[in-house]
Every structure is written in structure tokens, then in C-alpha cells.
Amino acid sequence: MIPVLGDTPVKDLTVPVVRDFMATLEKDGATPPTRVSALKVLRAMCLTARQDGILTTDPAAGLKVRAPRAREMTTIPSEPFGIAPLLL
């Protein structure tokens, strides 16, 4: 979180800042489980900041980690055009 959010004080966290943080993680190749973990830490931090009166709203509320796009499946041709004749 430090490399992306840097010196941003917790009181300055906004929805756009948090969205940019999540987008940067995705752009930099962080896997979905890594992004989920980062979001959990960020949510816990924002919850504590709200309880302590540092934030009035939770900028991480409602954010979700996008699932990776499904890969297109490659189909294998059925017989008699498959490899069975080559195995004889």
C-alpha cells in the first residue's frame, strides 16, 4: 500500500484516491487474491479512521475486486478428425 498511496494522510483518502489505488494494483499485475487482501486492509484502516473521527465516510465502501476475464476455451475436434488414427 505504501508504494501506491505513499504519503497520503488517512484523512485525505477519498473514493477517487481509493479507486486509483485499486486500479494501480491491477495495472501493475497484482492477482485478484492480492487485490482482495489489499482492499481488506484498506477497509479495516478506513473503519478505524471512521471510529476515531478521522474520516466521516468510508472511501473503500462498495468497492469490489474485478474478477479476471474468462479465457476463451479451445475445443478439440471430435473423431474421426482427431488424433486416434495417428495412434494406430
According to the model, what pLDDT value does residue 4 have? 60
Instruction: Report domain extents, the chain.
Output: 2-66
Query: Mind spelling out the 3-state secondary structure of 5-58?
Result: HCCCCHHHCCHHHHHHHHHHHHHCCCCHHHHHHHHHHHHHHHHHHHHCCCCCCC
The answer, yes or no, to whether residue 2 has pLDDT greater than 60, is no
Average pLDDT, the chain: 80
Q: What is the pTM of this model?
A: 0.66
Would you say domain 2-66 falls under CATH 3.30.450.40?
Answer: no
Per-residue model confidence as pLDDT tens digits over 50-72? 999 999 999 988 888 877 666 66
